[in-house]
Amino acid sequence: MEKISRSEVLHVARLARLEFTPQEVEEFTHQLNRIIEYMDQLKELDTEGVEPTFHALAQTNVMRDDQAKPSLSQEEALANAPDRDERGFFRVPRIIQG
């Protein structure tokens, strides 16, 4: 039986903000099932009581003083924007109706 259904693929695609043609959905469903089947071999291992490794080396939070330092100008920050307005903002579709 397939572990990941077609509708689950569509749900994950929505979470990931991606869309696919019906044919791509078929392909992804098939490929993801094969890949997940392979991943399932991890279930053979008993990991009861094993701490997860989120970082290979011990990581601690790094703090710095809150000091103003030179940073990008508004113009530099906007230079790569696909759409911007003349007042120096990124322009996006309206998100609040009214």
Residues that bind another protein (CB under 8 A): 4, 8-9, 12-13, 15-20, 28, 31-32, 34-36, 38-39, 41-43, 45, 47, 50-57, 59, 61-62, 64, 72, 76-77, 79-83, 90, 92-95
Q: How far is the CB of 26 from another protein (least distance, A)?
A: 14
Q: How far is the CB of 3 from another protein (least distance, A)?
A: 10
Nearer to another protein, 2 or 36 (CB): 36
**Contact criterion met (CB below 8 Å) for 4 and 39:** no
Q: Which residues contact 74 (CB under 8 A, 6 or more apart)?
A: 88
Q: Compute the radius of gyration of the chain from its Cα atoms.
A: 23
CA dist 17 → 10, 13, 20, 39 (Å):
10, 6, 10, 24
SS3 45: coil
Q: How far is the CB of 86 from another protein (least distance, A)?
A: 17
Nearer to another protein, 2 or 79 (CB): 79
